[in-house]
Amino acid sequence: MKYLRFFQIWKLAIFALFIVCVPGCLFTPNPYGFINAIISAIICLIIATSPILSDILYIKTPAEKLWKRWAFVEGEKAHARKERAAYGELTPTYIDTELKYGLFAGATNGKYRTTLRRCSCPDFKKRKVPCKHMYYLASKCGVETLK
């Protein structure tokens, strides 16, 4: 059930929609023949899995490998974000270390969806380097040490 929380709703909706189409492709009489019905079913399965494939690969990738992409980030600003993550200047509402995923309450009633690759907070959207939410999640996953 926790996997449903990880995937975004629109991705699950597309997945469900196309999975429901597969039996229709196979069992509805097709004027073009059974081979075309099979091809249609395969296309439906490909379309169904394409939006969630990157998320599935993310779940399967070890946290160390995901976090390694940020090894180049250093300096005072990165250190300041690590300190804010360490000393509680954020409000986690849900953390799942197995899925490497977290939800945080924002300062202005926003909710931020955070992974080791990205965060929906304004800071990450602007700078494209780890924010305090990502540092916090990385520390909970055991790939970052906060002081």
Q: Which of 35, 60, 85 is the last residue of a domain?
A: 60
Question: Which whole-number Å values give the CA distances from 6 to 38, 87, 94, 135, in the listed order?
Answer: 31, 26, 11, 19
pLDDT band for position 67 (cuts 50, 70, 90): very high
Average pLDDT over residues 90-107: 91
Total domains present in the chain = 2
Provide the residue range defining the domain that includes 30. 2-60
Mean pLDDT computed over every residue of the chain = 88
Q: Domain check: are 41 and 81 in the same one?
A: no
Dihedral sign, Cα of residue 57, residue 58, residue 63, residue 67: positive
Q: Domain check: are 42 and 72 in the same one?
A: no
Specify the higher pLDDT residue, 81 or 5. 81
Q: Is the pTM of this model over 0.85?
A: no
Average pLDDT over residues 43-68: 91
Average pLDDT over residues 127-134: 94
In a domain, 7, yes or no: yes
Q: Contact at 8 Å (CB) between 3 and 96?
A: no
